Amino acid sequence: MHQQPTLQRDPIKLRGSFSLEVILTLFAFKCMSPSAIYLSRGNHESKSMNKIYGFEGEVRSKLSETFVELFAEVFCCLPLAHVINEKIFVVHGGLFSVDGVKLSDIRAIDRFCEPPEEGLMCELLWSDPQPYPGRGPSKRGVGLSFGVDVTKRFLQENNLDLVVRSHEVKDEGYEIEHDGKLITVFSAPNYCDQMGNKGAFIRFEAPDLKPNIVTFSAVPHPDVKPMAYANNFLRMFS
């Protein structure tokens, strides 16, 4: 876990036909100004998801097999969460199947591996909020759904004010839930060239760190179909 500056954007999302260009741009920004950008791991930053949804094929087509292995290695180095000014918890997926998880527990996770199918690391990458209290099964079959009471309890126990996460397409690019204690922000407009959604990012400005949400629409891109490098089965549905 790292302290993060006042600008937050959606964690890396590798699902599209220009994923390589996107991630190399982000890495270039990180090299150019390390303290100005912090990258988070998402559920797609794993070998299995990269194979299914096309990032592996894209890298192999545009670069080489060597870079497939290098990306797999660097994904295992990405942080699972960040905290902004000790008050805002930033994560790709969501919260946990058990109460009492502290920031120290998250720091203690050995993230230098492929994500497991259960446990804290899995839930950070895969979980989603639900509109009713308590916990429930995930619509994805991995992770869980968690309610407003789970969010508020986690924030209170860790002296935090807000959860910011992504992992779900939203029509307006964002959604505020759980009595204002959780914001979903999704920065890919017209997701997979099919959803027609806006994209969004959040700017937190000192001293009060009030979220300023900025939305934007998709722009034209080169004529390459979405998920052009995915395996044959998925291309049938793209």
Cite the active site residues.
44
Q: Are strands 210-216 and 199-205 parallel, antiparallel or unpaired?
A: antiparallel
- State the burial class of residue 235 (Cβ atoms within 10 Å of its Cβ: 0-12, 13-18, 19+): middle
Of 200, 202, 194, residue with least CA distance to 216 = 200
Contacts with 190 (C-beta within 8 Å, 6 or more apart), sequence order: 196, 197, 217, 218
Amino acid at site 146: F
